[in-house]
């Protein structure tokens, strides 16, 4: 550990080399920081080394904290070592999107006619065209169907086409995740309900009733492009196969119990959105043919459009709920705006890395996606902290970050705590991160990043174990405890 010198707000209120982490037995020696209240206070506090040892994480810990006003590095430990950031990466993606697209940017989903409209009859094709909106939901498609009727469409003579090519297609954000986890869906320029389908089961006598639907708070349209078969086996719990344009699932009967539900990822997002829109058009008296996917955006007249909320609102929700698909979609959109194209998720992440180095002066950053879900992403704590220093006023990131409550010994949020934390959390099994800002009682503001990872332990997990491995919840709880202990230490040391 060493100490050194370095060095629009929320609307109206928003290809590098990877450094290999050192592991368990790196020496922990440091100078003691000079506390503002004097050396006596510094000596009375447990050093950061002791806090790290107490957490028993058996891996690597890296952190960096600086005074926001001066850029003075107050304390750091393994701060130049690249580590997996998990969802803390979304703070970088949010910054990249804000600078490239702007806080007021909106995404649009359109209905296009390739032929004229005569006496309520569309002479050509009707196209549902995605515009990269990560927040499009079932209610939105219902609204588009209502608009279609309001402009006078009663019949479509041609085909019903669906286009999702505004963004490059990715079958899964991270192919190493279990098939069934809803936070790892396909990515496309046309996304519905975060590309998740609702699977529900209920025991009826000796059998089960199963539904697969695109439910919202107002509608529950059934879908056939995702199918579930219950099979008599003990393991695996789920299997998945993409077959003939459908998502085919099986589930082990022994794992179901009497009833339950969960969201499953969608791998055929254009067909999913097309089928749901077809259902809503039918409810308006407009019969459409089976959705046909097209790779090129058809030319024609836009007759209906649904716009998203402004980007700043989307990013606020993304940072609060840590939605992976939102991060991937806004990151891809930013790269397309910046470079004119994004051939793949990985190429887009490389473009973001280049932006971070060129614009913010970061050194150790090598992301492989925009969400932090991939194991191979790396960033050093010092670089993540430097990003926080740079974007706080320049891009207005802080108001978009959620408030992270400090907790008492029973795990309960402490009321009236004079230390306030606004940050992005990041959690994978045996990986934990936190980065953002600490407001101290005297008005001092700190920028910080803390990363912890036991990479060998994570690497031992097989694909199915990654959903809920033994020991992961305890490890991650200890990592969060270390984060709080470090923040409390900084609050004592750096408050006048």
Query: Of 261, 286, 308, at which residue does a domain stop?
Result: 308
Residue 236 preceded by cis peptide, ω within 30: yes
In this structure, are residues 451 and 82 in contact, taking their beta carbons and an 8 Å threshold?
no
**252 & 344 share domain:** no
Looking up residue 189, the CATH number of its domain turns out to be 3.50.80.20
**435 & 467 share domain:** yes
**Nearest CA-CA partner of 176 in 164, 167, 184:** 184
CA separation, residue 471 to residues 180, 325, 457, 474, 486 (Å): 21, 27, 10, 6, 23
Residue with tokens 């058809």: 298
**203 & 269 share domain:** yes
In this predicted structure, what is the pLDDT of residue 274? 98
In this predicted structure, what is the pLDDT of residue 14? 29
Residue 487 φ/ψ region, left for φ over 0, alpha for ψ in the -120 to 50 degree band, beta for the rest: alpha
**120 & 89 share domain:** no
Asked if residue 2 belongs to a domain, the reply is: no
Residue 111, CB-side half-sphere exposure with 13 Å CA sphere: 28
**486 & 385 share domain:** yes
**247 & 365 share domain:** no
Asked if residue 23 belongs to a domain, the reply is: no
Interatomic CA distance for residues 372 and 84, integer angstroms:
8
Question: Angle of helix 89-101 relative to helix 345-360, nearest 10 degrees?
Answer: 80
The widest CA-to-CA distance across the chain, in whole angstroms, is 86
Determine the 3-state secondary structure of 213 from DSSP.
strand
pTM of the model: 0.91
For the chain, which residues score pLDDT lower than 50? Answer: 1-35, 37
**298 & 329 share domain:** no
Asked if residue 5 belongs to a domain, the reply is: no
**235 & 274 share domain:** yes
In this predicted structure, what is the pLDDT of residue 39? 61
For residue 488, count other CB atoms closer than 10 A to its CB: 16
Q: Which two tokens stand for residue 220?
A: 């529950």
Please spell the DSSP secondary structure of 92-104, one letter per residue: HHHHHHHHHH-TT
Looking up residue 403, the CATH number of its domain turns out to be 3.40.710.10
Q: Provide the residue range defining the domain that includes 352.
A: 39-103+312-493
**344 & 487 share domain:** yes
Query: Of 277, 308, 339, at which residue does a domain stop?
Result: 308
Strands 238-243, 246-252: pairing is antiparallel
Asked if residue 92 belongs to a domain, the reply is: yes
């Amino acid at each position: 550990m060493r100490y050194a010198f370095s060095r629009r707000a929320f609307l109206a209120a928003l290809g590098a080399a990877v450094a290999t982490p050192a592991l368990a037995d790196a020496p922990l020696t440091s100078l003691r920081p000079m506390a503002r209240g004097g050396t006596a206070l510094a000596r009375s506090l447990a050093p950061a080394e002791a806090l790290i040892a107490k957490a028993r994480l058996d891996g690597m810990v890296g952190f960096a904290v600086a005074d926001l006003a001066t850029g003075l590095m107050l304390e750091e430990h393994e701060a130049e070592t690249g580590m997996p950031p998990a969802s803390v990466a979304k703070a970088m993606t949010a910054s990249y999107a804000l600078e490239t697209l702007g806080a007021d940017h909106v995404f649009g989903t359109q209905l296009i006619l390739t032929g004229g409209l005569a006496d309520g009859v569309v002479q050509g094709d009707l196209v549902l065209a995605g515009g990269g909106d990560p927040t499009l939901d079932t209610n939105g498609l219902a609204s588009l169907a209502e608009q279609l009727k309001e402009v006078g469409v009663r019949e479509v003579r041609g085909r019903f086409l669906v286009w999702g090519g505004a963004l490059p297609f990715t079958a899964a954000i991270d192919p190493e995740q279990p098939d069934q986890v809803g936070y790892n869906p396909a990515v496309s320029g046309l996304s519905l309900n975060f590309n998740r389908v609702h699977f529900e089961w209920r025991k009826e006598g000796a059998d089960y009733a199963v539904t697969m639907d695109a439910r919202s708070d107002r509608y529950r349209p059934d879908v056939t492009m995702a199918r579930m078969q219950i099979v008599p086996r003990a393991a695996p719990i789920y299997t998945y196969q993409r077959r003939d344009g459908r998502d085919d699932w099986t589930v082990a009967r022994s794992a179901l119990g009497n009833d339950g539900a969960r969201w499953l990822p969608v791998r055929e997002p254009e067909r999913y959105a097309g089928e749901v829109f077809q259902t809503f058009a039918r409810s308006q008296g407009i019969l459409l043919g089976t959705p046909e996917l097209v790779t090129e955006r058809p030319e024609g007249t836009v007759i209906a459009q649904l716009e998203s909320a402004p980007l700043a609102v989307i990013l606020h929700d993304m940072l609060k709920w840590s939605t992976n698909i939102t991060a991937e979609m806004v990151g891809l959109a930013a790269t397309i705006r910046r470079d004119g194209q994004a051939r793949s998720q990985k190429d887009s992440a490389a473009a973001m890395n280049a932006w971070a180095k060129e614009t913010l002066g970061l050194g150790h950053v090598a992301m492989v996606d925009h969400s932090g879900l991939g194991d191979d992403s790396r960033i050093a704590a010092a670089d993540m902290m430097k990003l926080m220093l740079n974007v706080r006023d320049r891009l207005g990131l802080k108001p978009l970050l959620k408030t992270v409550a400090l907790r008492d010994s029973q795990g309960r949020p402490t009321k009236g705590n004079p230390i306030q934390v606004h940050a992005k959390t990041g959690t994978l099994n045996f990986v934990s991160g936190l980065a953002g800002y600490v407001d101290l009682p005297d008005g001092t503001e700190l920028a910080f990043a803390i990363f912890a990872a036991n990479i060998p332990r994570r690497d031992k997990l097989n694909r199915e174990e990654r959903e809920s491995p033994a020991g992961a919840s305890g490890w991650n709880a200890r990592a969060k405890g270390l984060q709080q202990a470090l923040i409390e230490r900084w609050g004592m040391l750096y408050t006048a």
